Chains A and B, each alone.
Chain A
Amino acid sequence: MPSKAYSQLHILIVDDFNSFRQTLNKIMRELGFKHVDSAKSGEEALKACKKNHYDLILCDYNLGKGKNGQQVLEELRKDKRIRAQDIFILLSAETSRNVVMSAYDCEPDAYLTKPISTKTIEQRLKRLLNKRRELLDIYTTLNKSDKNTAIAQLEKKVAEKSRYSMDCQKLLTDLYIETQQFEKAETICRRTLEVRALEWAQVGLARLQLAQGNAEKAIEWLKDIIKAKPACMKAYDILAQAYESLNNNEQLQNIFEQAVEVSPMSLNRQLSLAEVAMGNGDAEIAANAYRKTLRYGANTAHFNTKNQMNFAKSAIRFFEQDPDKANDLAQEAMKTLSTIDDKDEVVPETKTLAKIYSSQILGMQKLQKKSKEIIDPILDSLKKQDNVSSDIEVEVVNSHIYNQQFDIALLKSKELLKKYSDNESVLEKIDYLMSEPVSEKGKAMLQEENRKGIGLYKAKDNRGAIACFSRLEKKYPRFTAVKLNLVQAMIGHMKDVGKDPATIDRCKQILDFLRVHIKGDDVHFQRCQQLQSMLSAMLIKQGVK
């Protein structure tokens, strides 16, 4: 039964199968819709939404290569291409865990599983459009960000016992928190919870704690929610905000790791995970997360290049930490980097950086000749330039290090130190090159974390000490003091529980590194020698060759 109101609305159908697009198109026209467009991929859909405005989007979950339905919706929300009153329906032929989780996670207006009967669509649309009609005024106010008017309108709806009271109360809770009317928000949540332990109200109370500065309390509650309902993605997101407010990057990474495990398809969370892991020096997690963001496809060319570069950088760092495990990632990074030079839209500086990264990978793969072929022309041209960015300068030094040119690296890093002696943010980047910290942040970090590790070691919690030093070593792989402490903790560990080939290798690897870099006049020289002989003595005693 065609409805007159339907004929005004603009519809977008997104599906990679032509036959399904046609079937759906036919159904929609039979229902009385006049303006029906279609797209065959997520990217095409996003493009269409930039050009036109759609009141209703019917989007299949699986769109073949590139973005899926959830990612399309995430993107539309991020770019504010979808208004509060617009309807997004997610369709799916399969009900695999990931799909169900996605649908649950991104909260489309409806989620329908194929095969979809005409009747189902007709009925669902009728219902969604009724809701839209009743709440349209409120949506319009919300689009204008007029929160106070929206609150008044919502309160009225709730008082009238509207059919959509529950939706209104959820929206009200959000708005009360945003406008700092905490008591009112709390009343709604508590009243709801008196009747039933509903997720949104539980999370609402935790959000209230966080908004009022009680991050610790919020964390406690959110952990309880997640324990009872491991799939409550809102709780993970708020928990991440809480850890962020405490600058607890270790826990922040941890919570993103858990979240992407439960709901792997969210591009935003993968990206957040990649960024925080990179900051924490956990290059393995970062590289894998960046790789996923690239696999899911990206919205803009700029975003794509940035992620490609970050992916390469984290893969290189990981390769430095663990060449065996990171080999595949490094190969993939090499491939990714080779595409950057051909892109017209990429600025020359990024192209140069991409080449430097390539030379770093080749250097670590002991392909020094090939590495030199790339880096030498760059070095020549950099000499002629005045304004070389500090990123490039730092990575050039790294390139020398990966190519075993330690003397040049040392000379150049000293030059950088002089040049940027009062530029903290560049000094923080230089930290990565140095055997001891030069930035304030690096110094503070080393002092604090080292003290923590030594405390654990003294308290006989050697497992904890090793974990602590390893973490620090990942972030600052060339700090001598950290390496020495790590070796000492590992030797002690093996004395205690017996030999362990992996730990022995790790000790040897670090001591080999130090032997190259620490000369007789170094303050750490003697201790390095001592640890070396302790390791040898222990291996002889325990009968390891």
Chain B
Amino acid sequence: MPDMDEFTQEIVPPSDTGRSNDEQLDFSFVLASSVHDMKNSLCMLLGSLEEMIQESPPQNDEQKNHISILQYEASRINSELIQLLNIYRLQNKSLPFSIDENYVIETFEDQVARNDVLFKTKNIEIIMDCDDDLVWFYDNELLGNVIHNILINSSRYAKSKIKLSAICKDERLSISIEDDGFGFPDFMLQAALPENNKNSSADSTRLGLFFAAKIASFHKQGDNRGEIELSNGGSLNGGVFTIVLP
């Protein structure tokens, strides 16, 4: 034990090493919390809707049409809210972003199954063109949500078909989602260009693209980042959404 002489009687700067408990209640936090709440409500709504369709299927085309609108709009908002939350969490580093090796076909199947009821009520046929053994590196949750979002959007414009395809070339995975609708209007094609992603004036159609671009860009390998692209034409002669991951 030291005795007193080991101490002189001078000096000493501040001591407080206590934790700071300041909850930073900024607007984005409040927004994120309410988005979360809205999303949960929509999930309940979608769940009830599915049960309702199962218990009492639509009797005629008009009813079927109403239900498909209900389903589409609710799914669309829901999937956008999920994207919004994901971006918020990624930026706050509070979401695990985990790149792993995944079978692309499984990611496709998951998202198609997720929207099974929607496609059935809208009579949309899904075509998948992807090697069973194709694997790639990505965050399955996040990419899944991008595909989910695009599928819902395509279901709105497709006449009868949506096609998902994936190929690997030049060390990059390219995923395309095509429909047989009228294709994207010009302003959308412009909005999807990389240089226009940043100044998104956040109207809702662009928002979806903004999310997709953001999530694509989280995927990095060396100097390469993921990208998205919109075009018209493709094998179904409609809109084509493409996401390329390094």
Asked if B96 is an interface residue, CB under 8 A from chain A, the answer is: yes
Q: Is the beta-carbon distance between B11 and A460 smaller than 8 angstroms? A: yes
Interface residues of B in 88-124 (CB under 8 A from A): 89, 93-101, 103, 106, 109-110, 113-117
Q: Is the beta-carbon distance between A447 and B1 smaller than 8 angstroms? A: yes
For chain B, what secondary structure do more than half of its interface residues adopt (helix, strand, loop), or is it mixed?
mixed
Q: Is the beta-carbon distance between B15 and A503 smaller than 8 angstroms? A: yes
Residues 192-219 of B, flagged 1 when their CB comes within 8 A of A and 0 if not, give: 0000000000000000000000000000
Measured between beta carbons, the chain B residues less than 8 angstroms from A463 are 12-15, 17
Number of residue pairs A-B, CB distance < 8 angstroms? 150
Q: Is the beta-carbon distance between A231 and B1 smaller than 8 angstroms? A: no
Interface residues of A in 85-118 (CB under 8 A from B): 93-97, 100-101, 104, 113-115, 117-118
Number of A residues with CB within 8 Å of any CB on chain B: 66
Asked if A489 is an interface residue, CB under 8 A from chain B, the answer is: yes
B40-48, B58-66, B224-232 - the one binding chain A: B40-48
Measured between beta carbons, the chain B residues less than 8 angstroms from A197 are 99
Measured between beta carbons, the chain B residues less than 8 angstroms from A166 are 101, 135
Q: Is the beta-carbon distance between A497 and B95 smaller than 8 angstroms? A: no
Measured between beta carbons, the chain B residues less than 8 angstroms from A530 are 4
Q: Cα distance A451–B8 when bound, in Å? A: 15
A119-127, A292-300, A411-419 - the one binding chain B: A119-127
For chain A, what secondary structure do more than half of its interface residues adopt (helix, strand, loop), or is it mixed?
helix
Task: Given the known inter-chain contacts A120-B116, A450-B2, A463-B17, please indicate yes or no for A231 contacting B96, CB distance below 8 A.
Answer: yes
Asked if B6 is an interface residue, CB under 8 A from chain A, the answer is: yes
Q: Is the beta-carbon distance between A527 and B4 smaller than 8 angstroms? A: yes
Q: Cα distance A166–B82 when bound, in Å? A: 29
Residue of A23, A93, A454 touching B43 (CB-CB under 8 A): A93
Task: Given the known inter-chain contacts A119-B113, A199-B98, please indicate yes or no for A494 contacting B47, CB distance below 8 A.
Answer: no
Q: Cα distance A197–B97 when bound, in Å? A: 13
Least CB separation from B133: chain A residue: A163
Least CB separation from B82: chain A residue: A95
Q: Is the beta-carbon distance between A493 and B2 smaller than 8 angstroms? A: no
Measured between beta carbons, the chain B residues less than 8 angstroms from A357 are none
Q: Is the beta-carbon distance between B12 and A117 smaller than 8 angstroms? A: no
Measured between beta carbons, the chain B residues less than 8 angstroms from A488 are 7, 9
Asked if B137 is an interface residue, CB under 8 A from chain A, the answer is: yes
Asked if B221 is an interface residue, CB under 8 A from chain A, the answer is: yes
Task: Given the known inter-chain contacts A115-B46, A123-B110, A450-B2, please indicate yes or no for A494 contacting B7, CB distance below 8 A.
Answer: no
Asked if B36 is an interface residue, CB under 8 A from chain A, the answer is: yes
Residue of A117, A127, A458 touching B50 (CB-CB under 8 A): A117
Q: Cα distance A447–B89 when bound, in Å? A: 47
Residue of B3, B44, B99, B114 touching A117 (CB-CB under 8 A): B114
Closest Cβ of chain B: how far from A317's Cβ, in Å? 18
Residues 462-487 of A, flagged 1 when their CB comes within 8 A of B and 0 if not, give: 11011100100000000001001100
Measured between beta carbons, the chain B residues less than 8 angstroms from A466 are 12, 15
Q: Is the beta-carbon distance between A127 and B15 smaller than 8 angstroms? A: no
Measured between beta carbons, the chain A residues less than 8 angstroms from B117 are 117
Least CB separation from A479: chain B residue: B1
Closest Cβ of chain B: how far from A480's Cβ, in Å? 9
Closest Cβ of chain A: how far from B58's Cβ, in Å? 17
Q: Is the beta-carbon distance between B36 and A492 smaller than 8 angstroms? A: no
Q: Identify 12 new A-B residue pairs, CB closer than 8 A, beyond the known A95-B36, A488-B9, A497-B14.
A: A23-B51, A117-B116, A123-B113, A124-B110, A166-B101, A196-B137, A447-B1, A458-B8, A489-B12, A493-B14, A493-B15, A503-B15
What is the interface of chain B, defined by CB distance below 8 A to chain A? Answer: 1-4, 6-17, 36, 39-40, 43-44, 46-47, 50-51, 82, 85, 89, 93-101, 103, 106, 109-110, 113-117, 133, 135, 137, 141, 221
Would you list 28 pairs from A and B whose C-beta atoms are within 8 A, ordered by A residue?
A93-B40, A93-B44, A94-B36, A95-B36, A104-B96, A117-B113, A117-B115, A166-B135, A196-B101, A198-B99, A229-B98, A230-B93, A231-B93, A231-B95, A231-B97, A231-B98, A436-B1, A454-B2, A458-B8, A460-B11, A466-B15, A484-B4, A490-B15, A493-B13, A494-B12, A496-B11, A497-B13, A500-B14
Listed from nearest, the 8 A-B pairs whose CB atoms lie closest are: A493-B12, A462-B12, A492-B12, A231-B96, A115-B47, A119-B116, A466-B15, A119-B113
What is the interface of chain A, defined by CB distance below 8 A to chain B? Answer: 23, 93-97, 100-101, 104, 113-115, 117-120, 122-124, 127, 163, 166, 195-199, 229-232, 436, 446-447, 450-451, 454, 457-458, 460, 462-463, 465-467, 470, 481, 484-485, 488-497, 500, 502-503, 526-527, 530, 534
